[in-house]
Amino acid sequence: MSTDGYLSLLGFGMVMTFMTLIMLRRMSPLVALTLIPLVFASIAGFGGAELTPMLQDGIKTLAPTGVMLTFAILYFGLMIDVGLFDPVVKLILRFVGNDPLKVVVGTAVLAAVISLDGDGSTTYMVVTASMLPLYHRLGINVLNLTCVTILAGGVMNLTPWGGPLARVSSALQVDPMGVFVPLVPVMAFGVAAVLMLAVHLGLQERRRLGTVVLAAVTVETPALATTGASQRPKFFWFNAALTTSLMILLISGMLPPAVLFMIGFAIAITINFPKLADQRERIAGHARNVLAVVSVIFAAGVFTGVLNGTGMVDAMSKEFLAILPEWLGPHLAPVTAIVSMPFTFFISNDAFYFGVMPIVADAASSYGIAAVEMARASLMGQPVHLLSPLVPSTYLLVGLAGVEFGDHQRFTIGWAALLCLLMLGAALILGIFPLSAL
């Protein structure tokens, strides 16, 4: 067996072992992401001296993401505490009342709006804090909440400050805005599809629960803040202006997102909680969410570091291209869109975009398919990607909602795949990338 064949076999074996242990709940994601790559790297013949730079590179690559998530969770958690999102939530809650159909649709709308910030963790915290009490009071299946929330987030995460687009534009060295702007109509179509799904799921719950049960329920507006003392109504417009400015600066790319969120959080907590004791309390209140997400991010650095450093990703990519029929070459854009679903489910976004996409895009260029078109095609599988055990924020969603990860996957995976295919169809119709280079 050739070296590439051996490495690809080990690479796929490592991914499958990881997935199996996670699915069977034999290991936590944090432990599995750290230990399993080390075992397979040893099997591949890489010792400590060779592993050290791989692990350092993997962790360094994800460090900016980890820092950004740390301060983004702290910032938006603080905004939740002080009541910034309360007016939006109250408006949606007044609309939904005690009707399961409106509750599920309202969940999708709220998730889509909050997802504009590009941070899944924030979206999940806001949506579950505001909508979960309604689901419990009305007896609605909470899997409906996790389903429409993660699908709305999967569509809205295609913004330039979102992780996937930033990765692929860097990997293929293309302009992020050149990737994003043509995708806007596809994203709008995706949001509309999620709302239609929410209507379908809501009608199912309305038929299941019946009007008698609903009539006996009184719904109260849930408080988003962790304590009533945390509300800062007198600073509402300041907080709104600060958040709006932060979003504008993120879009402009004036400073790295990690730095912007650090500065924004420092300003926000100083103005809203000038006492040091209050600041420590607010930081401690969100420490659990930060640790749960960021610890897995850095553990994923070990996983991606080994995949890239050992050459497993390159070998896996070559094996994929080797088995690709020649007649499929001109159709590499839609093929990439389709395979992005399983690829980003079984391997991380970093492994897919930095390991696989440069090779696939290089092959596509020989057929006249532009790198920017391949970048857009590679993003079509993101709604399925968010169901992967490799996505830390998904554990936050199921943890806050109180559902099992496996139950969430089984309930949502079919709808996620259908959403990806619908977005793919819309992209082809709009000419976002070509069906065939011919």
Domain ranges of the chain: 3-430
Q: How far is CA 395 from the centre of its chain?
A: 11
Residues 82, 227: Cα–Cα separation, whole Å: 9
pLDDT of residue 30: 82
Residues 333, 80: Cα–Cα separation, whole Å: 41
pLDDT of residue 97: 74
Locate 96 and state its tokens: 């939904």
Per-10-residue mean pLDDT, the chain, length 438: 80 79 76 88 86 87 76 82 77 79 92 76 79 85 94 87 75 78 92 96 87 44 48 82 85 78 93 90 84 77 82 75 77 92 81 74 82 92 88 80 86 94 95 84
Residues 135, 133: Cα–Cα separation, whole Å: 5
Q: CA-based Rg of the chain, rounded to a whole angstrom?
A: 22
- Best CA proximity match to 116, nearest among 199, 191, 225, 222: 191
pLDDT of residue 359: 76
Phi-psi region of 119 (alpha: psi -120 to 50; beta: other; left: phi over 0): beta
pLDDT of residue 150: 94
Location of structure tokens 């915290």? 125
8 A C-beta contact, residue 88 and residue 129? no
Locate 264 and state its tokens: 């924004």
Residues 347, 358: Cα–Cα separation, whole Å: 16
Residues 198, 328: Cα–Cα separation, whole Å: 36
8 A C-beta contact, residue 349 and residue 163? yes
8 A C-beta contact, residue 31 and residue 280? no
Number of other residues whose CB lies within 10 A of the CB of residue 438: 9
8 A C-beta contact, residue 30 and residue 295? yes
Residues 320, 147: Cα–Cα separation, whole Å: 31
pLDDT of residue 229: 54
pLDDT of residue 266: 95
Locate 199 and state its tokens: 């209507």
pLDDT of residue 255: 81
pLDDT of residue 160: 67
pTM of the predicted model as reported, rounded to 2 decimal places: 0.68
8 A C-beta contact, residue 59 and residue 294? no
Write b or e for each residue in 135-162: b if 16 or more Cβ atoms lie within 10 A of its Cβ, otherwise e.
beebebbbbbbbbbbbbbbbbbbbbbbb
Residues 129, 138: Cα–Cα separation, whole Å: 16
pLDDT of residue 219: 43
pLDDT of residue 1: 65
